Structure 1
Amino acid sequence: MTRTARERTLSRSDVSAMWFFIVAGVALVGVSAYFGIARIVEAAGGRVQVPAVFEGTTGQAPIGPDGAMRDVELQTALLSPDSLSVAGMGALVLEQALAVVSIATVVGCLIAVTASVLRGRVFSRRNTALVSTAGIAGLAGLAGVPFFGNMVANDAFRSISQRTFDNVIMSVNLSHLLLAAFVVAIVTTVFTVGDRLQRETDLLV
């Protein structure tokens, strides 16, 4: 596509918005990597707080008159174990690494698609592959990060209770995962059809 055709397709505001999202995506990857590394370093130093999900567990909170203690059912809490086992630490490293890699892959693929659009090409086999890769990476992160997070939480429970408290819960949200998979399938299909129509149009020109 010539520069003139590109300029007719993309306005200056379109280009500015795309560059903004490119910069924001790079910043997102950098922030994710920073916090992932910081969390691993803190855990290695014995300063770790682990998000945990509870089921049917009763605790007490000062919510009564004059701060009187009342029973409440715990849903989520932050655990502060003295340390994690080798397996727990390994799960935490995998959790953070998968989060960073999945975010970096999604952002990298979408930036590559955006760069292609800036050059005047929306639908192509390359862009379809990039969108599919971004979708798969996003789904892997949605499923894998909570999975390893659950392993870390279970290790924290064992450390605090000396293996006397059993609260093994898988907190992967299946409905969110299925919805994300549906969206990925729809977007991939749109790019696949768009690529085919683009190639057919190119043959007619």
Structure 2
Amino acid sequence: MASPRPPRVLSGGDTIGFVLFLIGGVAIAVAAVVQSVVAIAQVLPNRDITLLAPFVATEAQAPLGPDGAPVAVQLDSASVTVASLQPAALGALVISHVLVAVAMVTVVTLLLILCFGILRGRIFSRAHTALVTAAGLVAIAGMYFVPFFHNMAVNGALALLSDGTYDRAVVGTVDLLSIFGVAFVVALAGTAFAVGDRLQRDTEGLV
């Protein structure tokens, strides 16, 4: 008859590493919340709002020539300031800041729960696989929706500056390559934990 296998005991170095990870995770979550709160407090009065706007193949003049003569350059990004934003654009900007905090806190919380489980001696389990997968999915969602809503606010600012004549709808601010990279890592980690859990259960059945 197979007997339950006792939980693995982590080495002192591993335990210290996980504890430092826990401390770092809490610090990251707190910093994300503070940063988002400060950013929201700055934009809620809806006065003199400055946004970083990405551009694609947009020509501009910069004083780079002799004696400050204008020289044609191409903008990748530029800061634009408007006296105020439309309600919809302001709402999108606030949502983008809220999502930063929500995504960071959620990812950190899920990973901290994972660390606590590992510190208890159980490395692979179905719950841990679910935690890794969920943390990755939340990170991917944040990487997509944060720039998406920020882009809505930027579009509103540029519409005000140009009286609606500047069209930048084709400009994408979502880094799909990074999202695909994170998705690959998440899938790999989830697979590793799932396989580890199955092998661990098979091994325990032989004890």
TM-score (norm 2): 0.91
Structure 1: which amino acid aligns with 2:44?
A: A
User: Is the deviation greater in 152-161 or in 162-171?
Assistant: 162-171
Q: State how far apart, in whole Å, the 1-side matches of 2:62 and 2:180 are.
A: 36
Structure showing greater relative contact order (alpha-carbon pairs closer than 8 Å, 6 or more residues apart): 2
Give the paired residue count.
201
Question: Which consecutive unaligned segments of at least 5 residues does structure 2 have?
Answer: none
1:65 matched to 2:66? The reply is yes
Please name the residue that 1:102 is paired with.
Answer: 103
1:14 matched to 2:9? The reply is no
Percent sequence identity over aligned pairs = 40
Please name the residue that 2:182 is paired with.
Answer: 180
Q: CA deviation at 1:100?
A: 1.2
Say whether the 8 Å CA contact 1:157–1:163 is kept in structure 2: yes
Question: Which consecutive unaligned segments of at least 5 residues does structure 1 have?
Answer: none
Please name the residue that 1:24 is paired with.
Answer: 24
Q: State how far apart, in whole Å, the 2-side matches of 1:2 and 1:176 are.
A: 40
TM-score (norm 1): 0.92
Q: Deviation string for 1:72-121 (max 9, x for gaps)?
A: 11110111111111111111121112111111111111111111111111
Please name the residue that 2:125 is paired with.
Answer: 124
The answer to which structure has the higher helix fraction is: 1
Please name the residue that 1:196 is paired with.
Answer: 198
User: Is the deviation greater in 121-130 or in 10-19?
Assistant: 10-19
Structure 2: which amino acid aligns with 1:136?
A: L
Q: CA deviation at 1:2?
A: 5.5
Q: Deviation string for 1:40-84 (max 9, x for gaps)?
A: 111112142211111232111121223322111111011111111
Q: Deviation string for 1:111-161 (max 9, x for gaps)?
A: 111111111111001101111110110110111111111111101101222
Match of 1:170 among 165, 169, 172: 172
For the aligned residue pairs, the C-alpha RMSD in angstroms reads 1.5
1:88 matched to 2:51? The reply is no
Please name the residue that 2:75 is paired with.
Answer: 74
1:39 matched to 2:32? The reply is no
